[in-house]
Every structure is written in C-alpha cells, then in structure tokens.
C-alpha cells in the first residue's frame, strides 16, 4: 500500500491552537511505523492551477493567491488565511491526485492530508480551502468514469453533495452525525436522499454498531445497483470517542472493521480505491484509527490494544433510518 506523502503537507497548518495542525501527517506516519503497518511513501507534485479550476471558480483561486501573498484576510469565518495558504492547499490536492494515480495503477492509493469536503467552488469553509475530492471527482469524470464517494467523517460532506449530489455520473454517500446537532447544520438530512445521493445521519453518541450496520446495509447494495468505475473513501476518524469536534463514539475496533469491510469490497468488486484522511484531531487516536483501517483493508493485524467506546444505544433508530434510506435510494 502506498501513501502520497511529502513534508510539504505540514504547510497546511491553520494555527498552533487550531485542530488542523500541520504536524498531523508526520506524526501519523511515525505512528504507522511504530505499529508495524506495511506501507510505502510516494512522492507527488503540487496540484496545478488547471487542476484547481476543474472544481473551483477562477475568482476564488485568484482570491486565495492574493490572501497567500498578504497573509490576510481569512478565507472564511471558520477557515484562516495565512502566508503560503495557496501552496499549502495545492500540495494537499496534489496528494489526492497522486492517490488517484496509485489507485489506477495498483488498485489502492492513500492521502492522509485530504478529504476537504466542505469547500464550495466559490469559497473555502469548515477548515477546507480547496476541495481535493471535488477536483478528483471532476478529473475522473473527464475520463468518462462513474464515481462513488463514501464518506464516514463525522461531518456531512456538504460541499461534495452541493457539487455532485444531482450528477448521474457520481454517487455520493455520507454517514455522519445528525447535522441538526453538528456542523454544517443545514444539509446532510435523510430527506435529501435519492437514487444517487444518500445521507445517513447518525444520532449523537452512535458508535461502531450503528455505523457498521448502516455501512453494511447500504454500501454493497449501492455498488451492486450503480457499478461505479472508481471508489473514493473519506475515512475520517473524528467520530472516535476521543475526538472533541463531534459527539460520536466509534471505537478503534469499529474502524478496524470498517477497514475490513473496505477490503471485502475491494476484493469482491475489483474497483480502484482512493482513500483520503478527513478529520480526526487527537493524537495518537487519529493515527491509530487510520492505521487500523489500512490494516483492515490489507487483511492484517497491528500490535495495538483496541478500545471499546460505548455504542449501540441508537441501533434501533439507525435501523429505521437505514430502511427509509433504502426506500428513498430505491435499493
């Protein structure tokens, strides 16, 4: 398994007191080595302006370049601007494009510093400057490929839904904390589900049992129905019970089982798969949860004690939501 990585990813540093620190990726790679995960690091190039314009407006790209030169103002009220922000965000997009390339060549590719699913074409938001997954989907679409993106970051991928939720060439799937209780608040509701856009809002304090039930009952039927050519997975780990930016309770054991489910999908459907890191901000837990997913895909184990965050209290409710989602998506 190859991970697109360069020290320049540490430039994506939104502040010493901000959850999105630039050392997340270096620390994760170091932790992977401590745990005995089998992987290689792969060099990559910064995304070009032409790449960014596949998803973002020219006006916004130029605005980020100006902010990058001056160091101010902020991108948006919740997304800081800083000197070099254009280059920092472009390196992150480049890493996801490298993950696509690796997936096309070897079946799987990884970028830990990706999954910026809140950015809109005309603005950054929610800690997200450029939408690496938005650019990636656009690039795959240009090749005539049908794309599915499965996102189980704790937050709804509103930028991706807004851009692609009605696109018949893209199937957007998001498992996330109920947006009436968490950012982005305005989208991500079950009622927005239709044949090519599925939302499964998890009640607060949902754990591994809930997300695994939803994943196993919705993702395989969607794959069978739509038969995509390429799969992007946002494997965000801010749903772990240690993470303070959300109120889910997914255990490390649960993330291992998600990885194993992805491994089964890869084996059964022989589909290229690019994985992006998404959220997760408490070390070493975010690194452990990423590592466990990657090990699960490989069918390997790690020398790591698995916690059991409390969960299961919302399983009955989630079963009801899954049944409604299947009906709305015509599964």
Tens-place pLDDT, residues 213-236 = 999 999 999 999 999 999 999 999
The tokens describing 180, both together, are 């009436």
Provide the pLDDT for residue 247.
98
Expressed in angstroms, the distance from the first to the final Cα of the chain is 33
Mean pLDDT on 320-330: 98
DSSP letters, 231-254, are EEEE---TTBTT-TTS--BB-HHH
φ/ψ (deg, to 5) at 177: -65, 140
Kindly report the average pLDDT of the chain as a whole number. Answer: 97
Mean pLDDT on 67-72: 97
- Percent of the chain scoring above 70 in pLDDT: 100
Residue 262: which residues within 8 A CB-CB, separation 6 or more?
233, 273, 275, 293, 296, 297
Contact 86, 65 (CB under 8 A): yes
Provide the pLDDT for residue 308.
82
- Locate the domains of the chain by residue range: 2-328
In this prediction, residue 76 has a pLDDT band, given cuts at 50, 70 and 90, of very high
- Establish how many alpha carbons lie within 13 A of residue 158's alpha carbon, considering only the half-sphere containing its beta carbon: 21
| Partners of 274 in the β-ladder | 109, 232
pTM of the model: 0.98
Provide the pLDDT for residue 23.
96
Give dist(CA 111, CA 140) in Å, integer: 17
Question: Could you tell me which of 325, 204, 284 has the C-alpha nearest to residue 31?
Answer: 284
Provide the pLDDT for residue 176.
98
Level-2 CATH architecture, domain 2-328:
3-Layer(aba) Sandwich (3.40)
Q: Is the pLDDT of residue 307 over 90?
A: no
Residues with catalytic roles: 118
In this prediction, residue 122 has a pLDDT band, given cuts at 50, 70 and 90, of very high
Q: Is the pLDDT of residue 178 over 90?
A: yes
Q: Containing H/E element for 167?
A: none
Contact 94, 47 (CB under 8 A): yes
Tens-place pLDDT, residues 5-53 = 999 999 999 999 999 999 999 999 999 999 999 999 999 999 999 999 9
Provide the pLDDT for residue 261.
98
Tens-place pLDDT, residues 135-173 = 999 999 999 999 999 999 999 999 999 999 999 999 999
The label of the residue with tokens 């589909």 reads: 271
Provide the pLDDT for residue 46.
98
Tens-place pLDDT, residues 250-286 = 999 999 999 999 999 999 999 999 999 999 999 999 9
The tokens describing 64, both together, are 């980020």
């Amino acid at each position: 398994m190859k991970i697109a990585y360069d020290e320049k990813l540490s430039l994506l540093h939104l502040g010493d007191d901000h959850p999105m620190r630039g050392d997340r990726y270096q620390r994760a790679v170091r932790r992977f080595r401590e745990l005995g995960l089998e992987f290689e690091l792969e060099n990559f190039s910064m995304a070009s302006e032409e790449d960014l314009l596949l998803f973002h407006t020219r006006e916004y790209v130029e605005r980020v370049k100006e902010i990058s030169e001056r160091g101010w103002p902020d991108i948006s009220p919740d997304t800081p601007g800083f000197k070099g922000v254009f280059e920092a965000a472009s390196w992150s997009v480049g890493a996801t494009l490298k993950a696509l390339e690796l997936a096309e060549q070897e079946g799987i590719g990884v970028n830990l510093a990706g999954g910026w699913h809140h950015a809109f074409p005309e603005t950054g938001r929610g800690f997200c400057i450029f939408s690496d997954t938005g650019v990636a989907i656009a690039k795959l679409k240009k090749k005539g490929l049908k794309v599915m993106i499965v996102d189980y970051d704790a937050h709804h991928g509103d930028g991706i839904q807004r851009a692609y939720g009605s696109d018949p060439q893209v199937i957007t799937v998001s498992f996330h904390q109920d947006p009436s209780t968490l950012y982005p608040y305005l989208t991500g509701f079950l009622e927005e589900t239709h044949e090519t856009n599925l939302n499964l809002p998890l009640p607060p304090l949902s754990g591994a049992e809930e997300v695994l039930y939803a994943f196993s009952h919705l993702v395989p039927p969607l794959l069978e129905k739509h038969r995509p050519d390429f799969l992007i997975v946002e494997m965000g780990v801010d749903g772990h019970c240690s993470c303070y930016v959300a109120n889910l309770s997914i255990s490390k054991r649960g993330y291992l089982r998600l990885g194993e489910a992805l491994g089964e999908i890869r084996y059964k459907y022989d589909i290229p798969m690019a994985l992006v890191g998404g959220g997760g901000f408490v070390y070493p837990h975010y690194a452990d949860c990423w590592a466990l997913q990657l090990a699960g895909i490989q069918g390997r184990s790690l020398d790591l004690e698995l916690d059991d965050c409390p969960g299961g209290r919302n399983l009955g409710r989630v079963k009801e939501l899954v049944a409604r989602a299947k009906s709305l998506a015509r599964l």
